[in-house]
Structure 1
Amino acid sequence: MQISFLEIKWTDVLDIILVAFLLYYIYKLVRGSVASRVFMGYLLIYLFYLIVKAIGLELLTKILEYFMGVGAIALIVLFQQEIRRFLLLVGKSTSLANNKFFSKLLGTQPEQDNQGPIKIVSEAAKTMSSEFTGGIIVLQKDDDLSKFAESGDIVDAILSKKLLISIFSQYSLLNDGAVIVNKGRIKAAHCILPIASGDELPSNYGFRHRAALGISEATDAVAICISEENGKISLAIDGNIKIVSAVELERELRRYFLNEAV
């Protein structure tokens, strides 16, 4: 296609569409966080660099080229959490990762033993919700949560509904912080979680919700948050948090851990 003195090929159009798609998803990942401001600042500097280069200001162009080179390394450091989330989302969305044969080959086949823990956690969350008992329950998937478990008190006990409820009781010394569950065992309690830095959360979401969202952003774990003010259950997965009922909670956990259709 010829437009005035420009010759545009179909590959150029495809290139523009793919770059726009990539920039959109990068912005979507960093939106509402401090990283979004850094990203926009870097993008503006890059546009300024292109203008300076087009004008022919050689000295300023060289300075900006060195800055862009160092800035690329700085961006990797600053955006390591967002890059990890992006790669995690890409890996989860591909049919290759969800294929049963390759899941067995890669060792990511979901364990059917998760059915028991999912039921126990769902029932515990339902009881805590009805009693207005606040708490955060983190279910480990593939990512290692050892550093978060070590921030609390190691329990390493068989998972049970009564034990979960007793941990979050107002008379318990372990009720402040999160409980980490893995492979049918309560690994640790009173754990400190990373706090979400985004400012898009509703005002009625408190510290527990930000901690639940933070761990879901940093890892592939699932966080269940029960509010002590209104008893509502919130589920955080892949950097997103929403209010769910007890029935929806169990269904979402089965979908995420067992690949069951919702």
Structure 2
Amino acid sequence: MDFFGFLNFGLLDFIEIILVAVLLYYVYKLVKGTAAINIFIGIVIIFVIWQITKALDMKVLSTIFGAFIDVGILALFIVFQQEIRKFLLMIGSTNFATKRSFVKHFKFLKQEINTDTDVEAILEACTKMSATKTGAIIVIERNNSLEFVKDSGDTMGMDVNVPTLETIFFKNSPLHDGAIIIEGNRVTATRVILPVSKSTIIPQRFGLRHRAAVGITEKTDALVLVVSEETGQVSYIRDGEFVFYKGIEVLQEMLENDLS
């Protein structure tokens, strides 16, 4: 047996390594910040140990770990059902023929920020609503389709600008209840009812508006901005998590990067 035989791999082996790395990266992104991350790390450790025992020809241990891995497949579908659903939704609803090409999914290949969404106008509106403590929840669609929640609201077709956003969320406006959906640079739905997160790690000071924001980002890759009606604070939620930032300029840069 050639000890250095593992170095003799071809182009297909290299492609396979890259694809496995990308797959593991996206799986990690799905479970990051949830209780499932510890389970995911544990499974990876057990798999690595199993491969080591097989390589060292430790038959008893490799058989035990192999049986655990085989039986654990069913357990994975049960434990990770929410994450698997989100992953399949992401794959199924991604349209690689749109402006977000396949290459743009790899951050290390991106050279410049390019988004149609007027992030500056959205943040200016949020800043003004924050000053008047006007509650708002703005959902920005990315790759995952939001049709399953848009149907709960009213269909719209308005350009994104400061007056439009302020008018929608004005307290006496009939459209201010619920969330709005932004696709590209258009408000496509208002008064949308979002799924509420059941997470127990969300601080008690946050109400249903914030739980709804977490809920939609748990199920899709959408980005959400929430203006608190009680404090006026502007929150940024992504991947089921509150994203902390320092200053509106930093938030704008983060949003533009996440939308590119």
Fold match (TM-score > 0.5): yes
Residue 110 of structure 1 is matched in structure 2 by 114
Q: Could you tell me whether the CA contact under 8 Å between 2:137 and 2:226 is conserved in 1?
A: yes
Q: Could you tell me whether the CA contact under 8 Å between 1:180 and 1:189 is conserved in 2?
A: yes
Q: Could you tell me whether the CA contact under 8 Å between 1:32 and 1:199 is conserved in 2?
A: no
- Work out the CA distance in 2 between the residues paired with 1:76 and 1:243: 26
Would the alpha carbon gap of residues 86 and 134 (structure 1) be closer, same or farther in structure 2, given more than 3 Å must change? same
- Work out the CA distance in 1 between the residues paired with 2:201 and 2:71: 32
Residue 163 of structure 2 is matched in structure 1 by 162
Give the partner amino acid of 2:164. Answer: L
Q: How does 1:160-239 map to 2 (within 5 A)?
A: 160-239=161-240
Give the partner amino acid of 1:143. Answer: N
Residue 108 of structure 2 is matched in structure 1 by 95
Give the partner amino acid of 2:249. Answer: V
- Work out the CA distance in 2 between the residues paired with 1:230 and 1:76: 35
Residue 135 of structure 2 is matched in structure 1 by 134
Among all aligned residue pairs of Structure 1 and Structure 2, give the percentage whose two residues are the same amino acid: 30
Q: Compute the RMSD of aligned alpha carbons.
A: 4.7
Query: Normalising to structure 1: TM-score of the pair?
Result: 0.64
Would the alpha carbon gap of residues 129 and 121 (structure 1) be closer, same or farther in structure 2, given more than 3 Å must change? same
**1:151 match: secondary structure:** coil
Q: Could you tell me whether the CA contact under 8 Å between 2:158 and 2:186 is conserved in 1?
A: yes
Query: Normalising to structure 2: TM-score of the pair?
Result: 0.64
- Work out the CA distance in 2 between the residues paired with 1:41 and 1:95: 28
Instruction: Say whether residues 1:252 and 2:251 are aligned partners.
Output: no
**How far did residue 180 of structure 1 move?**
0.6
Q: Could you tell me whether the CA contact under 8 Å between 2:28 and 2:37 is conserved in 1?
A: yes
Count of residues in correspondence between the two structures: 232
Would the alpha carbon gap of residues 250 and 71 (structure 1) be closer, same or farther in structure 2, given more than 3 Å must change? closer
**Which runs of 5 or more structure 2 residues have no equivalent in the other structure?**
1-5, 7-22, 48-58, 95-103
